[in-house]
């Protein structure tokens, strides 16, 4: 499929990757291997797919654009190990294509957070994620405490794994050119690392509540969760952005 034979849909956040050097660089980090089961989100015109499909055991492509789905189905009609699913990734039952060794894709900027929450909800069935995201979003995943990028996504990412920014990708390698720089990120998932945090929903709620009023101290932002619990040994005069993951872990146990 030719990138230019399909007019990108702005409503779907489509920016098609077209630079062969960047594509090869991304594939080197995805590193598809003969036994890999891989899921690709939004394969589009198949820029990455053509390098992944010949080198993995099974590949599932999830694409929303019906025009692109038809092209992908035609291209891989005789590849028994490649499945093309016409669906919205946020409405798809991920269990139908899991477990998987790797999940990859160029994520639409406006739904990157939602896709990551879906990823974390299925962390037990996925080993690694390699995504292209907006540079500012990537910085939020790998931020350090007491910085402007440190927030909800940083802490929740640490709950499920480790995020690394691999390299940045200029707008010029896409068609059409986005107005922002992208980054390739790799998230290695370790869902059992914090077995002591059993109630993930409560941990999510606590972190969200703390950061939703990030200029307030924890004593004020979490007052409804703290209630009459004994937190005398925890410094609640700090703000959420000052806490490391271990601090949130300690706070979780105090509030639970």
Report the pLDDT value the prediction gives residue 182, as an integer from 0 to 100. 95
pLDDT band at 227 (very low <50, low <70, confident <90, very high): confident
Q: What architecture is the 3-189 domain classified under in CATH?
A: 3-Layer(aba) Sandwich (3.40)
CATH annotation of 200-255: 1.10.8.100
pLDDT band at 220 (very low <50, low <70, confident <90, very high): very high
Report the pLDDT value the prediction gives residue 67, as an integer from 0 to 100. 87
d(CA 89, CA 99): 16
> Over 60: is that where the pLDDT of 3 sits?
no
Cβ atoms of 6 and 67 within 8 Å: the answer is yes
Domain boundaries along the sequence of the chain: 3-189, 200-255
Give one DSSP letter per residue of 180-225, joined into a string: S-EEEEEEEE-TTTTTT---HHHHHHHHHHHHHTTTSBHHHHTHHH
> Over 80: is that where the pLDDT of 14 sits?
no
pLDDT > 70 fraction of the chain, expressed in percent and rounded:
95
- Burial class of residue 47, CB neighbours in 10 A (0-12, 13-18, 19+): buried
Beta bridge partners of 128: 102, 188
Report the pLDDT value the prediction gives residue 191, as an integer from 0 to 100. 87
d(CA 115, CA 13): 14
d(CA 41, CA 115): 10
Q: Which residue has the higher pLDDT, 76 or 175?
A: 76
d(CA 235, CA 219): 9
Q: Name the packing angle between helices 152-160 and 200-212 (round to 10°).
A: 160
93-125 pLDDT, tens per residue? 999 999 999 999 999 888 999 999 999 999 999
């Amino acid at each position: 499929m030719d990138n230019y034979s399909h007019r990108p849909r702005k409503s779907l956040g489509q920016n098609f990757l077209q630079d062969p050097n960047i594509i090869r660089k991304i594939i080197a980090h995805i590193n598809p291997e003969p036994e890999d089961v891989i899921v690709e989100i939004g394969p589009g015109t198949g820029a990455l797919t053509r390098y992944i499909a010949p080198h993995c055991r099974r590949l599932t492509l999830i694409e929303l654009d019906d025009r692109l789905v038809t092209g992908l189905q035609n291209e891989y009609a005789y590849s028994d190990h490649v499945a093309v699913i016409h669906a919205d990734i946020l409405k798809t039952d991920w269990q139908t294509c899991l477990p998987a060794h790797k999940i990859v894709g160029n994520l639409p900027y406006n739904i990157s957070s939602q896709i990551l929450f879906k990823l974390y909800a299925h962390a037990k069935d996925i080993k690694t994620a390699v995504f292209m995201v907006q540079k500012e979003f990537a910085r939020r995943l790998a931020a350090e405490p007491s910085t402007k990028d440190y927030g909800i996504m940083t802490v929740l990412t640490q709950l499920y794994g480790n995020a690394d920014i691999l390299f940045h990708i200029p707008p010029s390698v896409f068609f059409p050119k986005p107005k922002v720089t992208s980054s390739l990120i790799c998230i290695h998932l370790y869902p059992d690392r914090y077995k002591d945090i059993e109630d993930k929903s409560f941990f999510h709620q606590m972190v969200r509540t703390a950061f939703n009023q990030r200029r307030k101290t924890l004593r004020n932002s979490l007052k409804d969760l703290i209630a009459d619990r004994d937190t005398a040994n925890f410094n609640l005069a700090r703000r959420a952005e000052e806490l490391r993951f271990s601090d949130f872990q300690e706070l979780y146990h105090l509030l639970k």
